[in-house]
Chain A
């Protein structure tokens, strides 16, 4: 059974690595069909967020257990400037129909749990989870 996987993100090439690892872990944990794609897309979008904006960070993927519930946890961490207005940032950029970067708001939409913490000058950490039904 897989344990933790860390993917350092420094460029867009790492986005592919992160989502491929995410895909295989999701499948290994038993996710099926659209759920696998949703997880892969969420990882792709947040990794892209690091590569394009924060410039440096990492994605940590690991299985998650909560009693009988099993799922996947994705921890996003960037060494970026931090987000000043979280509420606004989680709205901004998530524009429908234009295909612009969907980043963190997009990932929130796809995952079951989403917890964000940001410190100006330090960076942003997001913990996301998706549960198997």
Chain B
């Protein structure tokens, strides 16, 4: 199922639906690449609240997405990883090193505000 992407202020919010297949993830990557180019957003939130598992492929792809977005000047934050999912990921040593993480959408927005503000300030 295609992941819907919304634009909110200066950010993009991608809300993953419960079943995330490999093609869905790759599609998400392509869609974000396209939107970033179009809107020049500063930050991207990927909401995985309803995901019941994040496996090695998903981890790999999320990192690739964050990397791609950073090259285009956008910060990524993954929000909504559930306790059981976080637990399983660390058991398998699947880390999202280098990508921001936050509890939920609200925290994710605060995270992006913090990060993009800093960048803006530095740029002055």
Contact = CB atoms under 8 A, between A and B. Distances in A.
Main secondary structure of the interface of B (DSSP, over half): helix
A99 B63 contact: yes
Interface of B: 19, 21-23, 52-53, 55-57, 59-60, 63, 83-85, 87-88, 91-95, 97
B92 A16 contact: no
B94 A99 contact: yes
Main secondary structure of the interface of A (DSSP, over half): helix
Given A36-B84, A37-B53, A45 B92 contact: yes
**Which interface class (under 10, 10 to 19, 20 to 34, 35 or more) fits A?**
20 to 34
B87 to A, nearest CB: 5
A13 B23 CA distance: 8
Given A37-B84, A38-B88, A48-B57, A97 B22 contact: no
Interface string A23-38: 1000000000110111
Interface of A: 12-13, 15-16, 19-20, 23, 33-34, 36-38, 40-41, 44-45, 48, 94-97, 99-102, 106, 109-110
A19 B88 CA distance: 14
A110 B53 CA distance: 14
